[in-house]
A and B are shown apart, each in its own frame.
Chain A
């Protein structure tokens, strides 16, 4: 395996960009009267400082990974899915409705069925924009934005209506469901908050990798994304694959919602916003996918890094007592910096490509890789 310094640089680029963003954040911290060293120490401690912290990081990263996997599929097909928030909500609602309807079912049956139901519900909510695009040329950015809001209102309606906890009747009713039967809790992997959903997500990431690169459907999805007109000419039903990609993308976000319900919260409650349930995973998952180069396997470390950032930032807020608004702004800065750093990766890739070409033309190896003894 040839590792060149520039490739190492590429892999670490998101990390370097994150550090740059945090450096800007340090300035803001100082202006707020906080000590950046203490603050960032708290961030690291919150993300990695104990078994519980690492577990929390992975738990935070799980919905990011699931949404991110779906985004990889969508982006590869050339469509943008910003409906993750709404799709997560639908996944959560549908899966919890099932669990509440059959509280005495055995966990081993309910859990996979509920997760599947969440997957399907998200798929439907993602399929609607897909269908609207294919059949009526309604742009998916518009329809997903609209469906996000519709999903929130649907959540409000259901959680204060049919799904409400039975002893919440009366005027002061809290719009929450009952807690799911304990038998439905996703099993813990270690005695911490780390639940099976994390493992499911990683396995699915690998599965989707094979799906995209080793199956005909996956090949066609990628072809459509690279060049829709050429694919059409080659006989690929472009519209069908666009719908499929949006459906799958929505399905993974729906699964993220179901996993949040069965693995973390065990109930659902609404305050009229999406983020209180999703933690903005519908958006942050897009970022994670991009950090991972729109590759399902790459999205694994990317979601982990992002999850660490989010968990650590909350700890930062607690220790240094800065306003939560700073954390949101910091989140934005990290996204901007990492996304902007892509230019270096591209320049690097071009330089590498030129170098390879030069080598081929002149037949002499020219590389900067740290070669082991005896040559490659």
Chain B
């Protein structure tokens, strides 16, 4: 058997060397200022996840609509949750003539730090994160998701009749934790004696767990709930069934349950991407850190028209939002 293994290896080597010798390296074309602005995106989850990846995909589609397909083109590699596959993808896209590479996942930072210096003519943007590593061709972007979380928390506290609120989180880190902490802060600032129960399911995709967590929260008396990550659809489904109110984040989840979704904090990445594009076109390839916030309209509180939110409560929420923007309200969580 060993002999045939060797034979196979031999054939393999022959195949490799003939292909390697025959294949021409794709020449790296110089960035054309006249041609379309080309973007390549790498994201860790599916572009239809109604959360993180979809928010960026939607933003790029919007920008393409604004700039026109002749002026703006993008390609995307989604579901790149294997870190070294994503690194290979980023490097591969960089070696082709893309103007901007969007590494849309906090796990890609380490790879970017090594790859970006090798491609000084290409611009890289990394999110969600605040660190550009002092590398001149890296932009960083994050979301102050605690802000919308806070506003939702204020509204939730005002709306709850049972004085129990439930939150379903994925893994206790990053963007999700920021949101949850902001939400809890908003609730406590409005009605300190409301009980907020929080659980983390340990994964971003366990829909069944999220669903069961929602059932448990409701069993514990919650009549308002919130949560983060793509698994949250499970929780929304249960909320819909039980008539419990829902606050969402990252994307507009009103379509999931038009009767009970009150408001969602929508991430509008176009604010960031538009600025990056114009900077790159002017020749600045990096060095700036962005944050989506209520102030720059990167975070937008999207109120569900299908839910009849009493005007005075909505006013409370908007006051909180205004307070965050002008600095009179301190959330106590995350950066500003």
CA distance A266 to B75 in the complex (A): 28
Contact yes or no, B82 A279, CB < 8 A? yes
Q: Which residues of B contact A51 (CB under 8 A)?
A: 20
Q: What chain B residues lie within 8 Å of A278 (beta carbons)?
A: 82
Nearest neighbor of A153 in chain B, beta-carbon distance:
B202
CB distance from A348 to the nearest CB of B (A): 12
Decide yes or no whether A293 CB sits under 8 A from chain B.
Answer: yes
Interface stretch among A28-36, A119-127, A165-173? Answer: A165-173
Say yes or no: is A295 at the interface (Cβ < 8 Å to chain B): yes
> A123 to chain B: closest CB distance in Å?
24
Known contacts A156-B202, A171-B333, A266-B110: does B82 contact A276 (CB below 8 Å)?
Answer: yes
Query: Hey, which chain B residues are within 8 Å of A315, CB to CB?
Result: 92
Q: How far is the CB of B324 from chain A (nearest CB, A)?
A: 16
- Whether B80 sits at the interface, judged by CB under 8 Å, is yes
| B-contact bits for A39-63, CB 8 A (1 contact / 0 none) | 0000011101111011010010000
Q: Which residues of B contact A179 (CB under 8 A)?
A: 110, 113
Nearest CB of chain B from residue A148's CB, rounded to whole Å: 13
Measured CA separation A297–B323 after assembly (Å): 68
Q: How many residues of B are in contact with the other chain, CB < 8 A?
A: 59
Check if B181 is an interface residue, CB within 8 A of chain A: yes
Mask for B114-128, Cβ within 8 A of A = 1, else 0?
000000000000001
Shortest Cβ gap from A63 to chain B (Å): 10
Query: Which of the segments B9-17, B64-72, B248-256, B307-315 contacts the partner chain?
Result: B9-17
* A-side interface residues, number (CB < 8 Å): 66
Q: Is B5 an interface residue (CB 8 A)?
A: yes
Cβ–Cβ < 8 Å partners of A171 in chain B = 146, 177-178, 181, 333-334
Annotate B67-86 by CB proximity to A: 1 below 8 A, 0 otherwise. 00000000111111111110
Q: Which of A10, A15, A48, A172 has the most CB of B within 10 A?
A: A172
Contacts of A324 in B (CB 8 A): 46, 77-80
Q: Is B142 an interface residue (CB 8 A)?
A: yes
CB atoms of A318 and B92 under 8 A apart: yes
**Nearest opposing residue in chain B for A15, CB measure:** B8
Complex Cα distance A324/B76, Å?
10
Chain B residues whose CB sits within 8 angstroms of the CB of A298 once the complex forms: 1-2, 5
Specify which chain A residues have a CB less than 8 angstroms from the CB of B81 in the assembled complex.
271, 273, 275-276
Partner of B23, one of A10, A12, A49, A279: A49
A318 to B178, CA, bound (A): 33
B197 proximal to A (CB < 8 A)? no
Contacts of B79 in A (CB 8 A): 323-325
Interface pair A267/B110, CB less than 8 Å apart? yes
Which of A109-117, A299-307, A357-365, A366-374 lines the interface with chain B?
A299-307
- Closest-CB distance, A10 to chain B (whole angstroms): 6
Residues from chain A with a CB closer than 8 A to the CB of B23 are: 45, 48-50
A279-B85 contact in complex given A175-B171, A324-B78, C-beta closer than 8 Å: yes
Contact indicator A272/B203 (Cβ below 8 Å): yes
Q: Judge whether A277 and B83 touch: CB under 8 Å.
A: yes
| B199 vs chain A, min Cβ distance (A) | 14
Q: Decide: A48 and B16 in contact? CB cutoff 8 A.
A: yes
Q: A160-B171, A292-B5 are in contact. Are A272 and B78 (CB under 8 A)?
A: no
Contact, CB under 8 Å: B83 / A56:
no
Measured between beta carbons, the chain B residues less than 8 angstroms from A209 are 2
Once the chains are docked, how many angstroms separate the CA of A59 from the CA of B203?
28
Provide a sorted-by-A list of 6 A–B residue pairs whose CB atoms are within 8 angstroms.
Answer: A11-B5, A174-B106, A175-B173, A271-B44, A300-B9, A323-B79
Give chain A's interface residues, CB within 8 Å of chain B: 1, 3, 7-8, 10-12, 15, 44-46, 48-51, 53-54, 56, 59, 152-153, 156, 160, 170-176, 179, 209, 260, 264-267, 269-273, 275-280, 292-293, 295, 297-298, 300-301, 304-305, 311, 314-315, 317-318, 321, 323-325
- 4 residue pairs, one from A and one from B, having the closest CB atoms: A11-B4, A324-B79, A272-B203, A49-B23
